Amino acid sequence: MAPDTRYKAVAGDLVLLGRAAPQPTPLPGLTAAVMTRLSAVPPPVVATTPQHVLRRVVEVVATNRRRAVAVVTTLLLALLATPPVRATVADWFGFAGVIVRHEVTPRPSMAPPPPPAAGATTIEQANALVAFGAVVPDALGVPQGVEVSADRRLLSMSWTGGRDGTVRLDQFDGRLDYTFLKVARADKYTSVAGSPALWFDEPHEVVVLNPDGSSRTETARLAGHTLIWQYGDTTLRLEGNLTRARARTIARSTTPLP
């Protein structure tokens, strides 16, 4: 801690001195007071230059540098359209492996139910195939479909015929694997067990990007209500005709496989 061992004792005492000082706790009204004052502030304007965009793209894909160049070309135009403040705030939360692009293009008001996972493997078999620790939401019970992508990076499960209709859960190691590109008009911040989560309550496009950054066209489809959150390093994406409350309940019930 001290730059020099001779000063270790005094440095250590200074740390203790700091810890002994009263720890102020924020008054309950602090956040509300800030937000009230901000409601009168016009949103800050950010000049979105190509340099900004480039930096952001590199940051988004920093977990997987080798695909950065391809992603830059894929997303350059998309990011130019991203409201800058929003993009900045989303970066701070860092949903690994998810890029959200905002667009005002009208969408159909209804999305088809998500495609069920096709595979006939069991959760245990699937968990053994992927390199990350798979998780299951207990609220949904045993999935009817379990599928692992050919490159073993994406694990999908689906439930059909229950009270929720068709529900699909995709999971991947957010540190290095897939990138979902979501094109939506708006998304909302919510939380799952105290951690930030993103909620999409309008139909939106979703595309799975290849590890090299190109989009996998066969995966492009219209998605309905979707909740995105993280469990440890695993990024989860839950889709179906769910209310936000129900989606959060399902998300909160997530536990790792033994």
Partner 1 sequence: MRGGDRDAYAELVNRHAPVALRAASLLGAGPDAEDVVQEAFVKAYRALSRFRKGAAFRPWLLRIVANEARNLHRAAGRRAAREQSAWERTAPLLTAPEADNPATTALSRERRAELVEALARLSEKQRLVVTCRYLLEFDEAETATVLGWPRGTVKSRLHRALRQLHDELARPETAALEDDDVHRREVGYGA
Nearest to 239 by CA among 224, 258, 257, 218: 224
List beta partners, residue 198: 189, 228
Nearest to 67 by CA among 176, 227, 226, 201: 176
| Position 18 contacts partner 1 (CB under 8 A) | yes
Q: Which stretch binds partner 1 (CB under 8 A): 78-86, 166-174, 204-212, 215-223?
A: 78-86
- Please, what is the minimum distance in Å from the beta carbon of residue 56 to partner 1? 5
Q: Which stretch binds partner 1 (CB under 8 A): 53-61, 160-168, 170-178, 213-221?
A: 53-61
| Position 10 contacts partner 1 (CB under 8 A) | yes
DSSP sequence for 93-135: H--TTEEEEE------S--PPPPPP--B--HHHHHHHSSS--E
Q: Choose between 147 and 187: whose C-beta lies nearer to partner 1.
A: 187
Q: Which stretch binds partner 1 (CB under 8 A): 20-28, 104-112, 208-216, 242-250?
A: 20-28
Question: Looking at beta carbons, which pairs linking 243-246 to residues 24 or more positions away fall under 8 Å?
Answer: 244/188, 244/190, 244/199, 244/201, 246/164
Q: Choose between 90 and 98: whose C-beta lies nearer to partner 1.
A: 90
**And the tokens for 33?**
């007071």
**And the tokens for 25?**
């706790």
Sign for the CA dihedral angle at 164, 167, 173, 176 comes to negative
Query: Which residue's structure tokens are 């350059």?
Result: 76
| Position 118 contacts partner 1 (CB under 8 A) | no
| Position 131 contacts partner 1 (CB under 8 A) | no
| Position 30 contacts partner 1 (CB under 8 A) | yes
| Position 19 contacts partner 1 (CB under 8 A) | yes
- Please, what is the minimum distance in Å from the beta carbon of residue 76 to partner 1? 15
Q: Which residues of this chain interact with partner 1, rule CB under 8 A? A: 1-4, 6-7, 9-11, 13-27, 30-31, 33-35, 37-39, 41, 43-47, 52, 55-56, 58-59, 83-86, 88-93, 186-191, 196
